[in-house]
Structure formats: structure tokens, C-alpha cells
């Protein structure tokens, strides 16, 4: 049985995750090549791994339950290890350290000390504003810097952890004369298609990072589903931003794709509409060309609701990291910095239902014939991300569970 995403994990990918299996019950570092998950603590006990000068022996480092210590290694060492893995695979030395992907459980790959969510897509900002307020306009700071907020770390889970529809308080009916606030299960559960950067080498507090130096601090990228309850969020946003509307669950894909694997997908970011401050002035700040898709499966019928390129984002991760640190805020290894919803300017490029269905007012049609306004219990969300031939993210999946009873 070939896994659906074997083609994402060619020899030029070498992603990192945390895996366990029946015979390896302790979650530990692994990579994936095609259908094989290779347990790196075992692979790295022999040359050439043993001659790579790491602060801790690689088998010790790879036995840890998160990738943080590995992610913090200097980039050149990481690249050397990547090459050694590729060579070991090519020489067929990996077999004793491997298990079939079907026999493996994947875990949250990193310990996340802080989670930041940016709003880096111009299209999303315009579309979301139109859906909510009927106006296509930018927030005041949008072209000056990427606008972001802090998210909840404890609710971040690895795909395919389900998402339970949250309870909360919201306006019962915005069209009614009285804006009555009620308590109940969210009626407007949404997804947000995002990509996140995982911090590798930390940025010490007080270090002012220039955008052009920021790649040195990115270990790799993951797919992110920033599940959102639009009704709960809508009431709480003014004035402090999203909170309970977002903090019930964030899903990430299990494999972290390194910048080494993404190197060939670098493309120029969109032209700056306004000039940026000196610390973000980096005309070469690249986007990554990643073909992202969203599929909803309802009652066994699957419908693709979005296909969009990550290269459409106005702000790049370089800009985001520079902005994040300019006030003196440090970044720690394992921190997650997400892009915000990825949306293009076309009808099939909406990265969330708030945009696609105009906040539930204009239903879309699913292939089972039902109406899509917001998510229903039982709906399965599936993101995929393809970078190039043999390089992809696999998927990021979650099923909607019914709300708890109070």
C-alpha cells in the first residue's frame, strides 16, 4: 500500500518529525523518505554521522521527544546531517532504522514556547474586511509592517488531532435591532489555511534582527490550520484581538520542511506598495512557491474548496521575524510564527470560509450536494502543500467533533 503522500517525500525533502511505533514506543526524531519513516537515533550511530561534530552525540539528541535541540544546531551542521541522511538512504543503509509510514504514529514535533500569528496576505485582509463590514480596505499599518498577534500554545496539536466545536458567547443575530449576546456552541466554525515557520537558532532578547539575516533563524516550515469560531471571535475582537475565537485548537502538519528543501522554490515576493523601514528593507526577501490546497470531506464526498500559492503573500517570513524582534522581543527555538490566512485574488483561492461564503451569507456547494456556509460536525478538513517534484508537506488534517454539552 502506497501512502497518498509518498511523492511529497523524495530524497530532496528530508523533513523532520517526531515518531513512535510498536517496536519504538518512545517518541523520537525521524525523517521520511517515500513510504519509509527512518528513526534517526538509530541511523546516526554509524559513520558518517559519528564524525559530525555536534555538541551532543546525534543518537542522544535524536532520542529526545521534541526536535528543539536539533533545531537549535547551527545551520551548517544541519545541512551536513541532511546530506548524510541522503547518502545513507542512497547506500541503502537506512533499512534497519526504518518503519513503514502506516505503522508509525506522529507526534507534535516541537515544544512551542510562543506562537505568533501574522496577517501577511493582502488578499485575505481585503476579502475578510469585505465579508464582515462590506468594505475592502487595509488596516492602518498593513503596508508598513506585518500585523500580528500572540496565539495560544497549549492548544497546538499535530494533525490528525480532531477539533471540538467550541462553546462561547456571541451576538445571536447581527440584523436584529437588539444585539443580544447568547451562550452556546459556535455556529460559525471556520478554518484558516496558513504556513508557519519554526524557529531554529534563537534570537536573543534585545537583538535587532534585519530581515536579510532572518533565514538563519528559521528551522523549517509546517502547514497550519488556525481554526476560528467567527461568531465568538467577532464579539471579542474589539479592542484586544482574537482570543477564545481561536484558542481552542490550532493544527500543524507533522513534518517540518527545512529551508534547504525549500531553496529551489524561492520566488520574489510581491512588489512593496509603500517603502518599508530600514530594518525590513530587503528587496530580495523571498516567498516560497508552495501549492496549497484545502479539501472538505462531508459524508464521504470530497470537495476542493481552495487552491492557492503561498507566493501570493505580501509579507515574507523574513519581514515577520524582523518586525517581531525590532522592539527587543527575543525568539526561542521552537517558537511558531505563522503567516495568517493564505488567499489569492481569484474565486478558488480563498483560504477560509469567512471569505469563500462571505461570512456564511453566500453558500458554496459541496460535491455531496449540501450547502457550505461554515463547518458542520463530522466535516473533515485536509490541507496539502506541494513545493516541487518530490518535495511537499504531506497533509494537515482534522475532523470537526460536536460541541461539549454544558
Residue 9 dihedral angles phi and psi, to the nearest 5°: -120, 55
Cβ atoms of residues 282 and 352 within 8 Å: no
Nearer to its own copies among residue 258 and residue 325 (C-beta): 325
Of the residues 48, 330, 363, 390, which one makes contact with its own copies according to CB under 8 A: 330
| Position 224 contacts its own copies (CB under 8 A) | no
| Position 135 contacts its own copies (CB under 8 A) | no
Residue 230 dihedral angles phi and psi, to the nearest 5°: -65, -30
Of the residues 57, 65, 113, 390, which one makes contact with its own copies according to CB under 8 A: 113
Strands 364-365 and 371-372: antiparallel
Q: For residue 34, is it left (φ>0), alpha (ψ between -120 and 50) or beta?
A: left
Of the residues 15, 59, 109, 242, which one makes contact with its own copies according to CB under 8 A: 242
| Position 66 contacts its own copies (CB under 8 A) | no
Q: Min. distance of Cβ 41 from its own copies in angstroms?
A: 26
Bridge partners, 137 (sequence order): none
| Position 248 contacts its own copies (CB under 8 A) | yes
Alpha carbons 253 and 304: distance in angstroms, whole number: 18
In SS3 terms, 113-174 reads as: CCEEEEECCHHHHHHHHHHHHCCCCCCCCCCCCCEEEECCCCCEEECCCCEECCEEEEECCC
| Position 355 contacts its own copies (CB under 8 A) | no
Question: E strands of 299-368, at which residues?
Answer: 301-309, 336-338, 364-365
| Position 241 contacts its own copies (CB under 8 A) | yes
Q: Is the peptide bond before 48 cis (omega within 30 degrees of 0)?
A: yes
- Of 124, 217, 319, 324, which one is the catalytic site residue? 124
Per-residue x/- marks for its own copies, 176-195, CB under 8 A?
---x-x-x------------
| Position 69 contacts its own copies (CB under 8 A) | no
Alpha carbons 152 and 247: distance in angstroms, whole number: 5
Residues contacting 402, CB < 8 A, separation 6+: 164, 165, 185, 377
Is 107 in the active site? no
Q: Per the annotation, does 365 bind a ligand?
A: no
Alpha carbons 351 and 269: distance in angstroms, whole number: 19
| Position 277 contacts its own copies (CB under 8 A) | yes
Cβ atoms of residues 181 and 169 within 8 Å: yes
Q: Min. distance of Cβ 295 from its own copies in angstroms?
A: 24
**Alpha-carbon dihedral sign for residues 19, 97, 388, 320:** positive
Of the residues 47, 55, 139, 378, which one makes contact with its own copies according to CB under 8 A: 139
User: By CB under 8 A, which span of 7-15, 17-25, 215-223, 274-282 interacts with its own copies?
Assistant: 274-282
Q: Per the annotation, does 78 bind a ligand?
A: no
Q: Per the annotation, does 233 bind a ligand?
A: yes
Q: Per the annotation, does 341 bind a ligand?
A: yes
Number of residues binding to its own copies, judged by CB under 8 A: 60
- Any idea of the CA torsion for 346, 193, 102, 95, to the nearest 10 degrees? 90
Of the residues 6, 144, 388, 399, which one makes contact with its own copies according to CB under 8 A: 144
| Position 239 contacts its own copies (CB under 8 A) | yes
Q: What is the DSSP letter of 137?
A: -
Q: Per the annotation, does 246 bind a ligand?
A: yes
Cβ atoms of residues 191 and 293 within 8 Å: no
- Any idea of the CA torsion for 83, 209, 196, 311, to the nearest 10 degrees? -90
Nearer to its own copies among residue 11 and residue 171 (C-beta): 171
Nearer to its own copies among residue 330 and residue 390 (C-beta): 330
Nearer to its own copies among residue 124 and residue 358 (C-beta): 124
Nearer to its own copies among residue 77 and residue 167 (C-beta): 167
Q: Which residues bind its own copies (CB under 8 A)?
A: 113-114, 116, 119, 139-141, 144-145, 147-155, 164, 166-169, 179, 181, 183, 205-206, 208, 229, 232, 235-245, 247-249, 277-279, 323-324, 326-332, 335, 404, 406
- Which residues are catalytic, by number? 124
Amino acid at each position: 500500500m502506497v501512502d497518498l503522500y509518498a511523492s511529497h517525500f523524495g530524497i530532496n525533502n528530508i523533513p523532520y518529525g517526531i515518531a513512535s511505533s510498536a517496536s519504538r514506543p518512545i517518541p523520537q526524531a525521524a525523517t521520511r523518505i517515500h513510504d519509509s519513516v527512518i528513526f534517526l537515533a538509530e541511523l546516526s550511530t554509524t559513520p558518517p554521522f559519528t564524525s559530525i561534530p555536534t555538541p551532543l552525540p546525534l543518537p542522544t539528541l535524536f532520542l529526545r521527544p521534541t526536535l528543539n535541540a536539533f533545531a537549535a544546531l547551527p545551520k551548517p551542521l544541519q545541512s551536513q546531517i541532511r546530506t548524510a541522511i541522503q547518502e545513507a538512504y542512497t547506500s541503502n543503509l537506512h533499512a534497519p532504522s526504518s518503519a513503514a509510514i502506516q505503522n508509525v504514529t506522529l507526534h507534535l514535533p516541537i515544544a512551542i514556547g510562543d506562537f505568533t500569528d501574522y496577517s501577511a496576505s493582502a488578499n485575505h485582509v481585503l476579502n475578510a474586511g469585505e465579508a464582515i463590514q462590506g468594505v475592502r480596505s487595509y488596516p492602518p499599518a498593513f503596508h508598513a509592517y506585518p500585523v500580528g498577534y500572540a496565539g495560544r500554545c497549549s492548544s497546538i496539536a499535530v494533525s490528525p488531532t480532531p477539533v471540538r466545536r467550541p462553546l462561547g458567547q456571541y451576538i445571536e443575530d447581527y440584523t436584529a435591532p437588539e444585539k443580544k449576546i447568547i451562550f452556546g456552541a459556535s455556529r460559525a466554525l471556520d478554518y484558516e489555511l496558513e504556513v508557519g515557520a519554526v524557529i531554529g537558532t534563537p534570537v536573543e532578547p534585545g537583538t535587532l534582527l534585519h530581515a536579510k539575516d532572518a533565514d538563519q533563524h528559521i528551522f523549517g516550515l509546517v502547514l497550519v490550520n488556525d481554526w476560528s469560531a467567527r461568531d465568538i471571535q467577532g464579539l471579542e475582537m474589539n479592542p484586544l484581538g482574537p482570543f477564545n475565537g481561536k484558542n481552542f485548537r490550532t493544527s500543524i502538519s507533522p513534518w517540518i520542511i527545512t529551508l534547504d528543501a525549500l531553496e529551489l522554490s524561492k520566488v520574489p515576493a510581491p512588489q512593496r506598495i509603500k517603502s518599508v523601514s530600514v530594518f525590513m528593507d530587503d528587496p530580495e526577501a523571498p516567498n516560497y512557491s508552495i501549492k496549497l490546497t484545502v479539501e472538505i470531506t462531508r459524508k464521504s464526498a470530497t470537495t476542493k474548496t481552495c487552491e492557492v500559492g503561498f507566493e501570493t503573500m505580501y509579507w515574507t517570513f523574513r519581514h515577520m521575524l524582523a518586525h517581531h524582534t525590532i522592539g527587543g522581543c527575543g525568539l526561542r527555538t521552537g517558537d511558531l510564527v505563522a503567516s495568517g490566512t493564505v488567499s489569492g485574488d481569484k474565486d478558488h483561492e480563498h483560504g477560509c470560509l469567512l471569505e469563500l461564503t462571505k461570512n456564511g451569507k453566500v453558500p458554496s456547494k459541496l460535491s455531496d450536494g449540501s450547502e457550505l456556509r461554515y463547518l458542520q460536525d463530522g466535516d473533515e478538513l485536509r490541507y496539502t502543500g506541494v513545493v516541487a517534484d518530490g518535495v511537499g508537506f504531506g497533509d494537515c488534517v482534522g475532523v470537526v467533533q460536536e460541541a461539549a454539552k454544558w
